[in-house]
Structure 1
Amino acid sequence: MSAGTQPQPPARTQAGPQTRLPWWAWALPAAAFVALFSLLSSPAPADSGTQAGSGGPLTRMVQFVQHSAGRLAP
């Protein structure tokens, strides 16, 4: 009985997964973060018609998320 030869594994074309991101993969999330952060940090205009003592933009955003989540829940 003769020993058979083992088939060779296919040659790898790349050294591994691609780890370099294209420019837009980090630029777009960074731009979105800056835009949202600037909306949260900017004061509301005086003539916006909001209730007095309603809180800052972060408080309004949390209230909006709570209200939206309450409408989605059964």
Structure 2
Amino acid sequence: MSARTQPEQAVSRLPWWAIALPSLAFAALLLLAGSADAHAAGGSGTLSQLFGLVRDALTHQP
């Protein structure tokens, strides 16, 4: 039996949801934390306003 001279390359590909789901969960946590901080501090920062707009758009009920 002879030794292989070139190692086999392992190709690993992640499915799309392996990146999308953790990213969505992280964004949701940021939205929750951003809205709580904005209400607690009375902040009018740009980031707080952006999170508020995104939260309002996602939770808007017709």
TM-score bracket relative to the smaller structure: 0.3 to 0.5
Structure with the bigger percentage of helix = 2
TM-score by length of 1: 0.38
Which structure would you say has the larger Rg?
A: 1
Q: Greater relative contact order (Cα 8 A, min sep 6): structure 1 or 2?
A: 2
